[in-house]
Chain A
Amino acid sequence: AQSVTQPDIHITVSEGASLELRCNYSYGATPYLFWYVQSPGQGLQLLLKYFSGDTLVQGIKGFEAEFKRSQSSFNLRKPSVHWSDAAEYFCAVGPASSASKIIFGSGTRLSIRP
């Protein structure tokens, strides 16, 4: 069965510290992988996506993610977080050209300690 797991419900990091949010997936075919961010009271915004090629992908707002096929993971990283990064982050997986079949993880809420 296809699934996406975000093991951490809530993470708190200090401003300026590095960040890694975990995402593991189970998918039959080669997956298309996404990270979305949801700021308080807002809709979801795409941070980055991976389809093929270089396994390290760069996104907006200084985020990057690394696809590791052997570990079925697509972890999101940022070297130095800012207070404005406080939000909920969703990992998603799906097939090519069919957004209706994308599966979202349950989300990780990120808090920033001043």
Chain B
Amino acid sequence: NAGVTQTPKFQVLKTGQSMTLQCAQDMNHNSMYWYRQDPGMGLRLIYYSASEGTTDKGEVPNGYNVSRLNKREFSLRLESAAPSQTSVYFCASSDRGQETQYFGPGTRLLVL
């Protein structure tokens, strides 16, 4: 039982490049989330998916897109990376109607 997994662990991009962050969970959870963590700012929600086939914007969605590929997988895409998107990205999941979230180990992204 791996819980929530994320790939890659670390990535360096140049401004304007694109990339997709992958997330998968094996807990049969309905809801999945993408957060970014910046120093002194805690976690901020980028997008979430309450169930397979649905996605909604969070607090800071600009510059990102998401895909809920199936119940297990939720990807985050940066179409044209900017230095302001340098951050640590966390994926999380939770069961329907449950507040407790389970987090992946994070992806550290550096945009030059």
Task: List A residues at the B interface (Cβ < 8 Å).
Answer: 4, 9, 32, 34, 36, 41-46, 49, 90, 94, 96-100, 102, 104-107
Number of contacts between A and B (CB, 8 Å)? 63
Least Cβ–Cβ distance between A74 and chain B, in angstroms: 14
Q: CB-CB < 8 A to A42: which residues of B?
A: 105-106
- For the complex of A and B, list the 5 residue pairs with the smallest distance between their C-beta atoms, beginning with the closest: A43-B103, A104-B42, A104-B43, A44-B103, A106-B42
Select from chain B the residue with minimum beta-carbon distance to A51: B99
Q: CB-CB < 8 A to B42: which residues of A?
A: 4, 90, 104-107
Q: CB-CB < 8 A to B105: which residues of A?
A: 41-43
Q: CB-CB < 8 A to A97: which residues of B?
A: 97-99
Q: How far is the CA of A45 from the CA of B4 in the complex (A)?
A: 12
**B94 part of interface (Cβ distance < 8 Å):** yes
